[in-house]
Chain A
Amino acid sequence: MTYLAKPKFHHPALSANALGYTHRDYEGAISTLCAGCGHDSISAAIIQACFELDLAPHRLAKLSGIGCSSKTPTYFLGNSHGFNSVHGRMPSVLTGANLANRELIYLGISGDGDSAAIGLGQFAHCIRRGVNMVYVVENNGVYGLTKGQFSATADAGSPSKQGAVNADSPIDLVELALLLGASFVARSFSGDKRQLVPLLKAAIRHHGAALLDVISPCVAFNNHPGSTKSYDHVRAHNEAVNQLDVVPACEQITADHEPGTVAEVTQHDGSVLRLRKLAPGYDPHDRIAAMTYLQARRAAGEIVTGLLYVASETCDLHDRLNTVDTPLNRLGEAELCPGTAALEAFNAACR
C-alpha cells in the first residue's frame, strides 16, 4: 500500500475544528512501518491531539533523529516543516530551532535507541536546559531497522525473538527525566489512545521540557512471549496512576466529581489539567515521591503510566537566557548591527 499516494479527498461531512481544519489536514504521507506497529498509533494520537487543540499545522515543527520512530514525522502533520537529523542528535537540532523562533511548537520524536543509547547525552542536556518542547520517545526496547538488536531500555533478563537474553540493566528515561529536572514527565502505551491523546495535549500545552515515554511494541522483533515490551505484557502490567483530561483556557470548569478524586493543575497558558486519581495518594507535584514510587513499582515488575510529574512553576530556556519576545529569526540589521559609530568607539579603545 505504501507505494500509493494518499488520496486528498475526504467526506464532505468531516467535522472541522475551530480553525476550520479537518482531521485530514493534520495527516502526513502513508506510513511505511510494519502493519500493527505501535508507532503508527502514536502518529494517529498526535494527529488527533493537534486537531483537538485547534493548532495551525504550519505553526508546528517536528524533529527527529534516526530509526523507525524517527521516520514517523513523515506520517503526520504534512503541512509542518520536518527535520530528520542524525542519530541521537534531535535534541540539539530542536534546541537550535527553538532558539531561532520561540513562537512555533516543537515536537521531538525519538526512539529508545536514539534517546537512551547513542543520544543519551543530548537527551539529558536538552531536558536539563528546559527546552520548550514535547519530547516523545517511541519506546519498544529494540532496534527495528537493523533487525532486532536490544536497545538500552530493554529489561534485564528479557529475551530477544531469537532467544538471546539481555544481560544489561535498562535505562528508564522517565526516571532519568525526573532526575534531570524535566517539568513534565509522563508515560503511556501506544495501545491506549484514551490515555495517550490527553497526555499529548497536556504536553503540547506545557511550557518547558515535556517528556512523554510511550511504550510502543515492535510487532516484528519484540512482541513475543517473554518480552516486557509486548502488547500482552504491557496490557497485563500497565498501572495507570491517573486519568487526564485537558480543559482549554477558554472553557468553563465544572465540578462533576467526588471531592478528593480529581486534582486540577493550571498550566502556563491557562489550560487546566484535570487528573482523575487512580492510584490513591499519588501526587504528580512531588518529584521525589514520584521517583520513589516509580522505582518501587518497577522493582515489582509493573509499568507505571499516566502524568507522573508536572511542575507548578516552569521556566524554559528562553526564560533562562532572557531572550527578546520577537523570534530571533525575525530580527534584521536595525536590531542586530551596531553600525559604524559603535565600531569607531571600539577601534579607539584598541589603540
Chain B
Amino acid sequence: MPEPLTATNDFVVKFANVNGSGSASANRLFARSILRMGVPVASRNIFPSNIQGLPTWYEVRVCAAGWRGRRGGVDLMVAMNPQTWDKDLAEIEPGGYLLHDSTKPLPPSKFRSDVTAIGVPLTEICGRTYADPRQRQLFKNILYVGALAAVLDVDLAEVERLIGQQFKGKDQLVVANLQALRMGWSHAREHLTGRCRLKVRRADRVGDRIFLDGNNAAALGCVYGGATVAAWYPITPSTSLAEAFARHCRRFRTEPETGKARHAIVQAEDELAAVGTVIGAAWNGARAFTATSGPGISLMQEFIGLAHFAEVPAVIFDVQRGGPSTGMPTRTQQSDLLACAYASHGDTKHVLLFPEDPEECFELAATAFDLADRLQTPVFVMTDLDIGMNDWLCEPLRWDDQRRYDRGKVMTFEGLEAGGAFGRYLDVDGDGIPYRTLPGTHPTRGAYFTRGTSRDPYARYSEEGAIYADNMQRLLRKLETARRLVPAPVLRRAGQPARHGVLHFGSTAAAMEEALAALEAEGLHLDALRLRAFPFADEVTDFVRAHERVFVVEQNRDAQMRTLLVNECGLDPARLVPILHYDGTPITARFVGKAIAERLTALNVVPLRKAVS
C-alpha cells in the first residue's frame, strides 16, 4: 500500500461535476481563495459541448513554483458526478484522495484501497437545510468548497471575503452562501480532521499578478486598441471574447453626456457577414474586428483574400479548437496555422500573432490594430481554447497613457490638396505600403474604386500581366515590411551552451518553461525561442541554423508550424524535429519533457542520467 500523498502547496485537485449544476463559480471560488493566500494556481476547465447534463471537470493545480501548465495526474478528486465515478476514481494517483458525497452508502467496489476516501454527506446536509431543489443543488457546491477548505487548511476568511466581494450589494446571497460554506467547513472540522495530508500554507508567491481568461483580456485589448466596430457570429470557444467586448464597451465606451455608444457591435448572420462588416468598417476608417474559431475561418476565406488584395485592415481573433470540421468544439488545439497563414485562394500570406497567455492577449490585441492599419491588411490573433476560456495567473495588464494609435498611411484632405496625383496602390515610400484615403475626405481628389480584381497603381481596373505581377511583387515587399514590424520572438538561453534548441508558441509556453527546467535539472540543456508572429523575423532562421536539432513543439497533428518554417525560411527539414500533441487537452510539461528526452536519447546525448520521465 502506498503511503497517502503528503504535499504542501504542490498538488492537483480535480472537480468532477455535472454541466449546468452551478459548480463553475464554486470551483473558481476555491481556486481564487488559494491565490489570496499567496499560493499560485493553474486552473483548467474541461467541459463538453452541452448546456446541461453532460460531465464537466475543473482542475486546479496548486503550485508554489508557479508553473502554469497542467501537471497531469490528480491527487485529490472531488467526485460529484456519479456518471463518471469509475473513470474519475481510476485517474487518482496512488496514495491520493477522493472527496465524495457520502449520503448514500456505496459498495466497497466503488473505492480503491490505495486512495483515501473522504466522505461528506452533502445531499443530506442540503436536504435538511434547504427546501428549494435549486438551492439544494447550488449550495451543495459551496458546501463542498467549505469542506475542502477545512481539509486542505485553506484560510476560511479568504473564502468569506471573496464571497462578500462576489455578491457585493446582494446581502441575502452573501448570508446564504456564507452559511453553506460554514456548514461544510464545520462538518469537515468535526469529522475529517487529519484525513488529508495535502495542505495549503500561506506564502508570498503571487505578488501583483492577476487571474484572468484570455478572451476577456483580448476583448479589453480591443477597447484599449481603439476598436469601435465588432461583428461576430457565436462559436465556441470565441463567443466569450465578443461578449466581453460588449461588457467592457458598456462600461468604458458610453458617452457620459448622452449615454450613447462609442462603439457598434453586430451579431451577424454568419461568419461571412461578420468579416464583411469588419472589412467595410475598416475600409471606412474605423478599427474593427471579429472573433471566431476554425470553422468560422473556413467560411471567411473569400473575404480574407479580398481584404488582402484590396488592402483593407482587419483584425481577426481565431480562438482555436480541435478540428477538422466540427472536430472538438470544447477542446484546445493549435491547428489553424496553415488555414490562417495562407488563407484564401491565389497567392496570399497573412500576418499572425501568437499570444502566450491572457496578458499577451491584451497586449497583442491592441498591437494587432496598429499593425493592421499600418500594413493595410488582415491580422490574425491566434489564441486557443486553453488561453481563451481558462483563467490564467498572469502579469497585470499595463498601458502607457502616452501611447498613440498608429493609423498608418491615411491621406488627409490637406495631404490631397498639397500632393500631386494620388495613387491608391502606388509604392511611394518603397516599403510596399501605399497611401489610402477614406471615403468623404475631399470633393474632387483621392476617390478611388476598391476591388478584388487586379488594377494599376492608380486603382484603375487592369488585367495586364505586367501590371498584375508588379502589384503581386509589391505585396511581397509589404510582407517584408511586416516581418520587421511584428513582435520579435523571445529567446531563453540555456544555463550553458546548448547544441539543440526548441521552438514553441502560444499556450505551449506554460508547459515549455516547466519542461525546460525539468530537462535542465536532468542535465539536458536546450535554448528556446518563443515565436510571437508570422512572417518570421530573421532571428528565427538564425536560431535554427545555430543549433544541430531544433524541436518544434505544437498542438496539432501535422506539424503546421514546422511546415511554415520549412516553407518560408528555406530550412533543412531534417533539423526540425516535430513534437506534437493533439488530443484536445492542453499540452503538459510531462509530455514535452518526455518527448524531447526520448529523442535526445535517440540522438545519443543522454549519456549519464536517465531521461526525464
Q: Which residues of A contact B (CB under 8 A)?
A: 56-59, 61, 63, 73-74, 78-86, 89, 91-101, 103-104, 121-122, 124-125, 129, 317-318, 321-325, 328-329, 331-333, 335-340, 342-343, 346-347, 350-351
**A85 CB contact (under 8 Å) in B228, B306, B440:** B306
**A83 CB contact (under 8 Å) in B212, B283, B397:** B283
Q: Nearest A residue to B211 by beta-carbon distance?
A: A350
Which residues of B have CB within 8 Å of A329? Answer: 228, 281, 284-286, 438
- Whether B277 lies near A96 (C-beta < 8 A) is yes
Min C-beta distance of B448 to chain A, whole Å: 7
Q: Nearest A residue to B224 by beta-carbon distance?
A: A337
Give bound CA distance, A104 to B281, whole Å: 13
- Whether A325 lies near B396 (C-beta < 8 A) is no
- Whether B228 lies near A336 (C-beta < 8 A) is yes
- Whether B443 lies near A335 (C-beta < 8 A) is no
Flag whether B411 is at the interface (Cβ < 8 A).
no
**A324 CB contact (under 8 Å) in B208, B210, B255, B438:** B255
Which residues of B have CB within 8 Å of A94? Answer: 280
Which chain B residues (442-461) contact chain A, with CB distance < 8 Å? 442-444, 447-453, 461
- Whether B288 lies near A96 (C-beta < 8 A) is yes
- Whether B273 lies near A81 (C-beta < 8 A) is no
30 contacts across the A-B interface (CB closer than 8 A)? A79-B447, A81-B437, A81-B438, A81-B440, A81-B447, A81-B448, A81-B449, A84-B450, A84-B451, A92-B268, A95-B276, A96-B279, A96-B280, A96-B281, A96-B283, A97-B439, A99-B229, A318-B264, A321-B261, A321-B265, A323-B264, A328-B229, A329-B284, A329-B438, A332-B405, A338-B252, A340-B399, A343-B397, A351-B208, A351-B211
Which residues of B have CB within 8 Å of A328? Answer: 228-229, 262-264, 281, 286
Min C-beta distance of A4 to chain B, whole Å: 14
Give bound CA distance, A166 to B404, whole Å: 59
Given A73-B449, A92-B272, A96-B288, answer yes or no on A86-B303 (Cβ-Cβ < 8 Å).
yes
Which residues of B have CB within 8 Å of A58? Answer: 439-444, 447
Given A78-B447, A340-B401, answer yes or no on A101-B220 (Cβ-Cβ < 8 Å).
no
Q: Nearest A residue to B281 by beta-carbon distance?
A: A96
Flag whether B269 is at the interface (Cβ < 8 A).
yes
Given A81-B448, A83-B450, A338-B252, answer yes or no on A96-B278 (Cβ-Cβ < 8 Å).
yes
Flag whether B110 is at the interface (Cβ < 8 A).
no
Q: Nearest B residue to A102 by beta-carbon distance?
A: B264
Flag whether B37 is at the interface (Cβ < 8 A).
no
- Whether A347 lies near B226 (C-beta < 8 A) is no
Q: Nearest B residue to A83 by beta-carbon distance?
A: B450
Q: Nearest A residue to B258 by beta-carbon distance?
A: A324
Min C-beta distance of A55 to chain B, whole Å: 11
Flag whether B35 is at the interface (Cβ < 8 A).
yes
Which residues of B have CB within 8 Å of A125? Answer: 268-269, 273
Q: Nearest A residue to B437 by beta-carbon distance?
A: A81
**B284 CB contact (under 8 Å) in A79, A82, A101, A325:** A101
Min C-beta distance of B296 to chain A, whole Å: 14
In the A-B complex, the 3 residue pairs with the closest CB atoms: A96-B280, A92-B276, A100-B286
A98, A99, A323, A340 interface centre (most CB from chain B within 10 Å): A99
Min C-beta distance of B525 to chain A, whole Å: 36
Min C-beta distance of B442 to chain A, whole Å: 6
**B276 CB contact (under 8 Å) in A122, A322, A343:** A122
Inter-chain contact total with CB atoms closer than 8 Å: 223
Min C-beta distance of A110 to chain B, whole Å: 13
Given A92-B268, A336-B226, answer yes or no on A347-B286 (Cβ-Cβ < 8 Å).
no
Min C-beta distance of B550 to chain A, whole Å: 36
Which residues of A have CB within 8 Å of B282? Answer: 96, 100
Give bound CA distance, A59 to B438, whole Å: 11
Given A59-B440, A125-B269, A338-B252, answer yes or no on A74-B449 (Cβ-Cβ < 8 Å).
yes
**A101 CB contact (under 8 Å) in B273, B278, B405, B440:** B440
Which residues of A have CB within 8 Å of B253? Answer: 336
- Whether B224 lies near A97 (C-beta < 8 A) is no
Which residues of B have CB within 8 Å of A78? Answer: 447
Flag whether B596 is at the interface (Cβ < 8 A).
no
**A333 CB contact (under 8 Å) in B288, B405, B450:** B405
**A99 CB contact (under 8 Å) in B286, B303, B401:** B286
Q: Nearest A residue to B441 by beta-carbon distance?
A: A58
- Whether B228 lies near A92 (C-beta < 8 A) is no
- Whether A93 lies near B224 (C-beta < 8 A) is no
Which residues of B have CB within 8 Å of A331? Answer: 226, 228, 262
Which residues of A have CB within 8 Å of B461? Answer: 74
Q: Mark B550-587, 1 if CB is under 8 A from A, else 0.
A: 00000000000000000000000000000000000000
Given A79-B444, A83-B283, A96-B279, answer yes or no on A338-B449 (Cβ-Cβ < 8 Å).
no
Min C-beta distance of A151 to chain B, whole Å: 20
- Whether A61 lies near B284 (C-beta < 8 A) is yes
A78, A98, A103, A337 interface centre (most CB from chain B within 10 Å): A337
**A82 CB contact (under 8 Å) in B285, B302, B449:** B449
Flag whether B170 is at the interface (Cβ < 8 A).
no
Min C-beta distance of A108 to chain B, whole Å: 11
- Whether B450 lies near A81 (C-beta < 8 A) is yes
Which residues of B have CB within 8 Å of A96? Answer: 229, 231, 276-284, 286, 288
Give bound CA distance, A122 to B399, whole Å: 39
**A129 CB contact (under 8 Å) in B228, B266, B285:** B266
Min C-beta distance of B223 to chain A, whole Å: 7
- Whether A325 lies near B283 (C-beta < 8 A) is no
Give bound CA distance, A125 to B266, whole Å: 11
- Whether A93 lies near B277 (C-beta < 8 A) is yes
Give bound CA distance, A323 to B269, whole Å: 21
Q: Nearest A residue to B259 by beta-carbon distance?
A: A322
Give bound CA distance, A339 to B253, whole Å: 12
Give bound CA distance, A350 to B214, whole Å: 13
Min C-beta distance of B317 to chain A, whole Å: 17
Flag whether B398 is at the interface (Cβ < 8 A).
yes
Which residues of A have CB within 8 Å of B36? Answer: 351
